[in-house]
Amino acid sequence: MAAILELKEKLVRFYGKNEVYLVPVMRFVLALTVFLMINLNIGYMEAVSSIPVALILALLCAILPVRAMMLIATVVILLDMYALSLEVCLVAVILFALVYFLYFRFAPKHGCDVLLTAVCCQFRIPYVMPLGMGLLREVYAVFAMICGTVVYFFLDGVKNNAKVLSGAAEVEGEGVSTISVALNQLYGNKEMYLVLGVLSATLVIVYIIRRMSIENAWRVAIISGTLFEAVGLIAGYMLLGISGKIIGVLIGSVISAAVALVLQFLFFNLDYSRTERTQFEDDEYYYYVKAVPKVFISGTDKRVKRFSGREKEQERLTKKQFAREMDIDEDLLD
């Protein structure tokens, strides 16, 4: 355990010293993942759906704010939607207008959470987001998670119905049918509403429990949130008659709980055996304070200082020069 704690402290110090380099690298990795995910699923416009373009855009996003990354990703998605169908592109514009309204109104500092939610949904582990955000964010960050989830389900619906969306206007004889099919990916997607409801409730539950003044609050929040979202999603899928999801929910919940426990170790590792309680007062209030120390171990830095005859000679010459300048006897400096 001591070795793990020492490794954690070394990682923290390493990040603190190299943050100016690590942050752009992490932005590059996130942006590259997002653009490759877009190209893989809805890369209908060949001009923007290639690996070289994704690399160039990711490099650009590495030096820009997260909001710029979201804007560039939005433009790429709209271009792909336009290549598929003009009607689908119009629906996507309306969707992103609503998403940006929610984002800038309620969670303007959580752009990474929007992108990470979509990425986790793509990898079939969206369950990690309500646990992680409930532990590390404020409760209003739920709107960022909602934005990422809605965008993912819309794009996934477009991908699964691409043939219908691209040819609906020709089959039905009027463009409004294409818009109906595109809108149905939002208002007719019962699975999306189920996932949104369960994940949002999980985030709120985790947030409330981890703020309680109880021992192992974060661990209790993780266990409670994991059980709630697993049971809620399984029950919801059974009620909706959606099959083939239960195994994925169970595996994803286990992975999410493991990630959440790692976050607890990194950000909230406390030693409850050394809990202290005290009280004091001022002119207006009594204060009751409960102090729980963090688990901390400092690494041992070994320093080896070598002495050589040359260094002693340098020191002796320095004393002689100093004595000459001060016009004093050199022996007085010993």
Contacts of 175 (CB under 8 A, 6+ apart): 86, 87, 169
Q: Specify the pTM.
A: 0.80
Residue 294's beta-bridge partner residues?
A: 270
Whether the Cβ atoms of residue 245 and residue 233 lie closer than 8 Å to each other: yes
The closest alpha carbon to 200, from 124, 271, 164, 147, belongs to 147
Question: From first to last of its 334 residues, what are the pLDDT tens digits of the chain?
Answer: 677 778 778 888 888 889 899 999 999 999 999 999 999 999 999 889 899 999 999 999 999 999 999 999 999 999 999 999 888 999 999 999 999 998 888 888 899 999 999 999 999 999 999 999 999 999 999 999 999 999 999 999 999 988 888 764 444 444 447 788 888 888 889 999 999 999 999 999 999 999 998 888 999 999 999 999 999 999 999 999 998 899 999 999 999 999 999 998 888 776 666 777 888 888 888 888 877 777 766 555 555 555 455 544 554 556 666 666 666 666 666 6
CA atoms of 113 and 206, how far apart (whole Å): 16
Cα separation of the two ends of the chain: 49
3-state SS string for the chain: CHHHHHHHHHHHHHHHHHHHHHHHHHHHHHHHHHHHHHHHHHCCCCCCCCHHHHHHHHHHHHCCCHHHHHHHHHHHHHHHHHHHCHHHHHHHHHHHHHHHHHHHHHCCCCHHHHHHHHHHHHCCCCCHHHHHHHHHCCHHHHHHHHHHHHHHHHHHHHHHCHHHHHHHHHHHCCCHHHHHHHHHHHHCCHHHHHHHHHHHHHHHHHHHHHCCCCCCHHHHHHHHHHHHHHHHHHHHHHHHCCCCCHHHHHHHHHHHHHHHHHHHHHHCCECHHHCEEEEEECCCCEEEEEECCECCCCCCCCCCCCCCHHHHHHHHHHHHHHHHHHCCCHHHHC
- What is the per-residue pLDDT for 319? 62
- What is the per-residue pLDDT for 112? 93
- What is the per-residue pLDDT for 281? 85
- What is the per-residue pLDDT for 174? 47
Structure tokens at 148: 């990422």
